Amino acid sequence: MGKRFTSLALSLALLSISALFYYSFAQLRNPCQCVAFRLDDVEDHYLDKVNMQIMKVFQEKNASLSLGIVGNLFGHDEKLISFIRNRINDTNAQLTISNHGWNHEDFRRFSKEDQSLLIKRTNEKLNDILGVTPSVFIAPFDVFNKDTIIALKENGIKYFSSIIDNDTGPYAIHEDAIPYDFPSTATTSDDNGTYWIGVKHENTSTQIEKSISKYGFAVVEMHPYEYSTKHDYSYKPFNITNPKDTFSYEEFIKNWEKARIDWKQIRELQLLIDEVRDKGYTIVPIENLAS
């Protein structure tokens, strides 16, 4: 009887331990089955028509979109500001505001104190202009370091997004993991070393499906560049790979003044949103991936 009881107790203990480990590992995979779209590099007088057309597509599709706004380069373009304000309160096609740096700077170049100040400045300015304090930080250039995470916590940022290539996780959903980490796992463009080239919606859809299968969520990274017509300017000299490189974002954006809406790629975006829903996935803002 004693042996049987001991054996039964041991079996129950092992079963409990197995269940505990199963639960722990299950937490590493977000059960949301959701897709978030983020539009980076939103700022004054820069591909305005392109950015507004992208926002219109999401509104027409009643789909959520997260805007990554560059703080110091935003606030004087009344047409863009009015356009965004009118859509922030649309509950059917939720438009949320994310902090995308102060000058689209490489945060790795700054101390923890300076990183915290840059994040604070952008949050305060966006609150002054739009009446919204961002809870999401989209890392400029998709790069960051440990000090960035500390600075985010100091500013009450709950959600963080870079790119899967620079961020290996974990992507667990629990309070100890704040800021919640949701890197982009799909993109609507192909970096060919010279331009961001828009891709077919099927390409992005495949990336989304793989991401949801692996992580339980997908974040789609977009830029206005791939939805604009191209000219003979290359962004390659400013494609940061080394923290010591030099970069002038203001000079970079001046070269895109002649760009116009690429209607072919806008159509690809419409088809992508439809296909995401056809596959049974829900489109949410980055903030809702942790819900």
Provide the pLDDT for residue 9.
47
Number of structural domains (the chain) is 1
Query: Do the beta carbons of residue 225 and residue 199 sit within 8 Å?
Result: no
CA angle 58, 155, 140 (to 5 degrees): 50
Query: Do the beta carbons of residue 226 and residue 198 sit within 8 Å?
Result: yes
Domain membership of residue 140 (yes or no) is yes
Q: Is the pLDDT of residue 8 over 90?
A: no
Q: Is 254 exposed, middle or buried (0-12, 13-18, 19+ CB in 10 A)?
A: exposed
Task: Please tell me the distance from the alpha carbon of residue 77 to that of residue 219, in angstroms, as a whole number.
Answer: 28
State percent of the chain over pLDDT 90.
64
User: What are the tokens at 149?
Assistant: 């995470």
Which of 56-65, 170-179, 218-227 shows the lowest mean pLDDT across its residues? 170-179
Domain membership of residue 154 (yes or no) is yes
According to the per-residue pLDDT averaged within each range, which of 98-107, 187-196, 255-264 is highest? 98-107
Task: Please tell me the distance from the alpha carbon of residue 134 to that of residue 123, in angstroms, as a whole number.
Answer: 6
The secondary structure of 154-195, three-state, reads HCCCCEEECEHHHCCCCCCCCHHHCCEECCECEECEEECCCC
Task: Please tell me the distance from the alpha carbon of residue 184 to that of residue 207, in angstroms, as a whole number.
Answer: 10
Mean pLDDT of the chain: 83
Q: Which residues pair with 48 in a beta bridge?
A: none
pLDDT mean over 19-40: 62
Residue 126 one-letter amino acid: L
pLDDT in tens, 146-186: 999 999 999 999 999 999 876 655 445 555 667 988 999 99
Domain membership of residue 160 (yes or no) is yes
Domain membership of residue 121 (yes or no) is yes
Type and span of the H or E element at 219: strand 217-222
Domain membership of residue 6 (yes or no) is no
Q: Is the pLDDT of residue 26 over 80?
A: no
Which CATH number fits the domain that encloses residue 169? 3.20.20.370
Provide the pLDDT for residue 229.
86
Task: Please tell me the distance from the alpha carbon of residue 281 to that of residue 291, in angstroms, as a whole number.
Answer: 15
Q: Is 280 exposed, middle or buried (0-12, 13-18, 19+ CB in 10 A)?
A: exposed
Q: Look at residues 186, 187, 204, 173 and name the one whose alpha carbon lies nearest to residue 271.
A: 204
First-to-last C-alpha distance (Å) of the chain: 49
pLDDT band at 280, cuts 50/70/90? Answer: very high
Q: Is the pLDDT of residue 50 over 90?
A: yes
* Angle subtended by helix axes 112-130 and 146-154, to nearest 10: 40
Provide the pLDDT for residue 279.
97
Q: Which domain holds residue 52?
A: 31-290
Q: Is the pLDDT of residue 275 over 60?
A: yes
Task: Please tell me the distance from the alpha carbon of residue 173 to that of residue 245, in angstroms, as a whole number.
Answer: 35
pLDDT in tens, 200-214: 999 999 999 999 999
Total-model pTM = 0.83
Provide the pLDDT for residue 14.
37
Task: Please tell me the distance from the alpha carbon of residue 157 to that of residue 167, in angstroms, as a whole number.
Answer: 18
Domain membership of residue 81 (yes or no) is yes
The one-character DSSP state at 41 is E
Provide the pLDDT for residue 46.
87
Residue 79 one-letter amino acid: K
Whether the upstream peptide bond of residue 243 has omega within 30° of 0, thus cis, is no
Domain membership of residue 209 (yes or no) is yes
Task: Please tell me the distance from the alpha carbon of residue 268 to that of residue 41, in angstroms, as a whole number.
Answer: 20
Domain membership of residue 16 (yes or no) is no
